Amino acid sequence: MESVKCLIIGSGPAGYTAAIYTSRAALNPVVYAGLVPGGQLTTTSQVENFPGYPDGVAGTVMMDDLRRQAERFGADVRHGEVTAVDLSQRPFRVTVDGTHEIFADSIIVATGAVAKYLGLPSERKYIGMGVSACAVCDGFFYRDRDVAVVGGGDSACEEALYLATLCRKVYLIVRRDILRASKHMQQRVFENGRIEVLFGYQTEEVLGDDGGVTGARVRGPEGVERVLDIEGFFLGIGHTPRTEIFRGQLELDDEGYIVTSGTGSGSTALLGSTETSIAGVFAAGDVADRVYQQAITAAAAGCRAALDCERFLIE
């Protein structure tokens, strides 16, 4: 049976940053990168808003840089998926790929979240080529162009309003005949001259060619079909945190995100601790962040989780 001081579940900016800090603290972390090493950024063609890359960087390249930096300091980064955890007592028992068991004195959860998609084959085909689930990440590429956002809640409205500051035209495709967003958010959308709300419409197909998205075929009330001439297709229907294996053990909010204490001590109280409902288990990145969900905030949370973990083990 293998025993480790610090086990990091998940990779991406949060997991790899936590690995860098815990390695430098001589905690000899073991990192299980999961089914998609590097997380959501590996599906992003170009990242231009992460400090230190003035010319932008491919998501896969940036994640490889972070992984190699963590390994440079001694992090043991492994392929494999954590399939079960027992957090009832320390050391915690963790099962990898259904067979290998590890006992861990501490755990940093950085399993991230996955964007919700419509499930269209054409949508998957153009991910990274015009289809995106993050307007803040990719909106810059569509400056002065026409785009569409799918969704009717606050997230979709926020995406549409952000894109309206950059794009020439934003279609907001709403399946129902009303917006589910707050009244204030609805008012902002309706008052924005660059946003056209399409009530009662569903996306049938994302259109494109070798260069990326060229349009979207949508069907509206009474079966009326319409083709939108757009170059960007954004999903604003939310994210699903990867917390299935923690249900019933860690406190989760109503959307499944891990709840952190936010109490901290000393200087950590300024930002809030990454401690979860179980002492010795910490959460960092999108798995505990339902608001910002950016690479830079995930990396910062990974740093905080590593420092919280180090203090816990010392005390």
Residues 170-191: pLDDT tens digits? 999 999 999 998 898 999 999 9
Give the span between the Cα atoms of 155 and 146, in whole angstroms. 19
Q: Are residues 283 and 203 in the same domain?
A: no
For 137, the token pair is 């990440």
Q: Are residues 167 and 249 in the same domain?
A: no
Q: Are 286 and 239 in contact (CB under 8 A)?
A: yes
Q: What is the average pLDDT across 150-168?
A: 94
∠ CA 114-110-161, rounded to 5°: 45
Give the span between the Cα atoms of 220 and 216, in whole angstroms. 13
Give the span between the Cα atoms of 117 and 235, in whole angstroms. 7
Q: Are 167 and 147 in contact (CB under 8 A)?
A: yes
Q: Are residues 172 and 278 in the same domain?
A: no
Residues 284-293: pLDDT tens digits? 999 999 888 8
Q: Are residues 153 and 188 in the same domain?
A: yes
Amino acid at 137: C
pLDDT over 90 at 100, yes or no: yes
| Catalytically annotated residue among 6, 137, 167, 309 | 137
Our answer to whether residue 137 is catalytic in this structure is yes
Q: Are 202 and 225 in contact (CB under 8 A)?
A: no
pLDDT category at 120 given cuts 50, 70, 90 is: very high
Our answer to whether residue 167 is catalytic in this structure is no
| Catalytically annotated residue among 138, 146, 286, 308 | 138
| Catalytically annotated residue among 97, 105, 134, 157 | 134
Domain count, the chain: 2
For 209, the token pair is 């060619």
Q: Are residues 277 and 255 in the same domain?
A: yes
pLDDT over 70 at 226, yes or no: yes
pLDDT at site 269:
43
Q: Are residues 70 and 164 in the same domain?
A: no
Whether the bond between 29 and the residue before it is cis, its omega within 30 degrees of 0, is no
Residues 13-31: pLDDT tens digits? 999 999 999 999 999 999 9
From 180, 203, 235, the end of a domain falls on: 235
∠ CA 232-206-124, rounded to 5°: 90
Q: What CATH number is attached to the domain comprising 151? A: 3.50.50.60
Q: Are residues 243 and 137 in the same domain?
A: no
Residues 137-153: pLDDT tens digits? 889 999 999 999 999 99
pLDDT at site 45:
64
From 213, 235, 257, the end of a domain falls on: 235
Give the span between the Cα atoms of 113 and 167, in whole angstroms. 27
Q: Are residues 129 and 106 in the same domain?
A: no
Q: Are residues 72 and 177 in the same domain?
A: no
pLDDT at site 43:
67
Q: Are residues 53 and 108 in the same domain?
A: yes
Phi and psi at residue 54, to the nearest 5°? -60, -25
pLDDT over 90 at 90, yes or no: yes
End-to-end alpha carbon distance in the chain: 25
Residues 18-72: pLDDT tens digits? 999 999 999 999 999 987 787 777 766 678 889 999 998 988 899 999 999 999 9
Q: Are residues 110 and 243 in the same domain?
A: yes
Which H/E stretch holds residue 106?
A: strand 100-109
From 235, 256, 283, the end of a domain falls on: 235
pLDDT over 50 at 266, yes or no: no
Give the range of the structural domain holding residue 58, as residue numbers without chain letter: 2-114+239-314
Helices (H) and strands (E) in the chain, counts: 7, 17
Q: Would you call 303 helix, strand, or coil by DSSP?
A: helix
pLDDT over 90 at 105, yes or no: yes
Q: Are residues 122 and 87 in the same domain?
A: no
pLDDT at site 267:
41
Give the span between the Cα atoms of 313 and 136, in whole angstroms. 37
